[in-house]
Amino acid sequence: MIKCIIVEDERLAQDVIKSHLEKVERFELVGVYRNAPEAMEGLAKQEVDVMFLDIQLPGMTGLNFLRSLTEPPLVVLTTAYPEHAVESYELNVIDYLLKPISFERFLKTINKIADGRLLNEPGKNEEEKGDHIFIKANSKFFRVSFSSIVYVEGMKDYLKIHTIDNTLITHQTMSDIERILPPKQFFRIHKSYIIAISHIKAIYGNSVEMDKATIPIGVNYKEKVFSLIGKK
């Protein structure tokens, strides 16, 4: 899920964005805040992917609040005043929505965000998945080709994506990534590990030797692993 917050002091504007979010898939509203201090506290307590931020906030403006953040989430500015558009894009916001915000215009923003976060939707078949995904790590979106992924390591609500060149840490679950990765190229051998078939060097005992590491085979996955050997 793509976790969102709304930072907006007007109740009507809050309700409009809430209503729009309820109509789209994969976007979860996890907080609504009326001003910058409340939003700052919310960002400190939880992982947030997208912030719908009003420019005209009481106390500190939305733009000044955005400037104060060292690692902001993706930001969509909302306002009734178009004159801030140029200044907002200098802050690398994803989009700029003018009130009243129509659902059609809102949906264009949602599609832009979804395409940038994970291009390969869960549930697509092998042919539709393409050859890469976008992984959010360290406030950036990295384009990662499937062929470069050696293995994926689960750590509670986070994943380590081990590639040929580096390791990315992202806020996803094993179930999320398992649905996204092409099943003909990857399979799960442990509750905490998914490996790329193309990067297997050897299988022995209760382990799989990869290009970069030796991965344990979970008790419940042994049959699946040795079934793979039988097919090769």
143 lies in the same domain as 67: no
Q: What is the pTM of this model?
A: 0.54
137 lies in the same domain as 60: no
Distance CA 71, CA 49 (A): 11
Which residues span the domain enclosing 201?
Answer: 126-231
pLDDT for 89: 56
Query: What domain count does the chain have?
Result: 2
9 lies in the same domain as 90: yes
Q: What is the pLDDT of residues 122-161, one digit of tens each?
A: 444 444 446 788 787 776 778 889 999 999 999 877 889 9
Q: Residue 162: which pLDDT band, with cuts at 50, 70 and 90?
A: very high
Range from 20-24, 72-76, 89-93, 162-166 carrying the lowest mean pLDDT: 89-93
**CATH code assigned at 132:** 2.40.50.1020
Residue where one domain finishes, among candidates 64, 88, 117: 117
Q: What is the pLDDT of residues 86-127, one digit of tens each?
A: 566 567 788 889 999 999 999 988 887 775 443 344 444 444
165 lies in the same domain as 78: no
Distance CA 41, CA 49 (A): 15
159 lies in the same domain as 89: no
**Span 4-31, mean pLDDT?**
95
134 lies in the same domain as 113: no
106 lies in the same domain as 139: no
**CATH code assigned at 79:** 3.40.50.2300
pLDDT for 82: 75
Given the DSSP bridges, would you call strands 149-155 and 193-196 parallel, antiparallel or unpaired?
A: antiparallel
Residue where one domain finishes, among candidates 62, 88, 117: 117
Q: What is the pLDDT of residues 168-224, one digit of tens each?
A: 988 777 877 887 888 889 989 999 999 999 999 998 888 999 987 999 999 888 887
178 lies in the same domain as 138: yes
131 lies in the same domain as 111: no
Query: DSSP string of the chain?
Result: -EEEEEE-S-HHHHHHHHHHHHTSSSEEEEEEESSHHHHHHHHHHS--SEEEEESS-SSS-HHHHHHH-SS--EEEEEES-GGGHHHHHTTT-SEEEESS--HHHHHHHHHHHHHHH-SS-TT--GGGS-SEEEEEETTEEEEEEGGGEEEEEEETTEEEEEESS-EEEES--HHHHHHHS-TTTEEEEETTEEEEGGGEEEEETTEEEESS-EEEPPGGGHHHHHHHHHH-
Residue where one domain finishes, among candidates 117, 149, 182: 117
